[in-house]
Amino acid sequence: MRTLAFASRNLKELIRDPMMMIFSVGFPVVLLLLFTAIQSSIPVSLFALDSITPGLAAFGLSFISLFSGMLLAKDRSTSFLMRLFASPLTAADYMIGYMIPLLPIAVAQSAICFLLAFVLGLPVTANVLLSILVLIPTAVLFIGIGLMMGSLVNDKAVGGISSIIINVSAWLSGTWFDIKLVGGTFKKIADVLPFVHSVNAARAALSGDYAAILPNLAWVSGYAVVILAIAVVLFRRKMSSDKI
């Protein structure tokens, strides 16, 4: 009950922030329209809808790190979190309360991306639902990254660090170009990090290549669990520290 009350407050704070709607939904939508327009003007298949849409859906989720981080860091910067820390809310209540509202937002973001892709010509198949589901661990990963940042730094720093993370995750995701084309150290780094695996898993789900989903999904899920665990530890430490 108290967790849901806190989650409901966080959802209201998030959806009442117009910047969240612009970045998390508007930005990927504009990019999808742009790349579709580019694709229609070139003879080779560079930005085909079945390839670019899962990538843009994953890219949209990276903004979740910005919003979860900002929400927590802003709460820390005001006395509001002090008020809550003096209440009977537990560390688990906080972490679940911050996460719960972000998950439906993440699913809605992906769904909007795919709905637009349908309008632009992506075939309507059940695999789209699977692709959206496969992106959930990616959403958890970015929520965890955000909560980790929000526990460590102030809201201004969250903005700066998030933009680095969003850029790194975009470049190393294989959404805009094939990582194999660059090869070398760049590919090795991309393979170690979870971002390309997020996009690969979503693409595999969409194309019906079910065998390719699990290895990529396991990689992303592993990162998500570890990052979330670190975020929980950092937040618990912050709760008991002298300086919120």
Partner 1 sequence: MKAIVTTDLVKKYKNKTAVDSLSLTIEEGELFALLGVNGAGKTTTIKMLSGLTAPTSGDAVLLGDSILSNTQAVKQKINVSPQETAVAPNLSVRENLDLISRIYGGSRQAAAAKTDEMLNTFGLTEIAASKAKTLSGGMQRRLSIAMALISNPQILFLDEPTLGLDVLARRELWAAIEKLKGKMTIILTTHYMEEAEALSDRIGIMTKGRLTAVGTAEELMKQTGTDKFEDAFVALATGTEAIR
Residues that bind partner 1 (CB under 8 A): 1-2, 4-6, 8-9, 12-13, 16-17, 78-80, 82-90, 240, 242, 244
Nearer to partner 1 (CB atom), residue 85 or residue 176: 85
Nearer to partner 1 (CB atom), residue 17 or residue 50: 17
CB 7 to partner 1: min, Å: 11
For 52, 105, 143, 190, 213, the CA distances from 173, given in Å and listed in that order, are 11, 21, 18, 7, 15
How many whole angstroms separate alpha carbon 67 and alpha carbon 86?
24
Nearer to partner 1 (CB atom), residue 15 or residue 34: 15
CB 153 to partner 1: min, Å: 20
CB 176 to partner 1: min, Å: 34
Nearer to partner 1 (CB atom), residue 40 or residue 78: 78
CB 148 to partner 1: min, Å: 22
Within 8 A by CB and 6+ apart from 82, the residues are 244
Q: Count Cβ atoms below 10 Å from residue 181 Cβ, excluding itself.
A: 9
Q: For the CA atoms of the chain, what is the radius of gyration?
A: 18
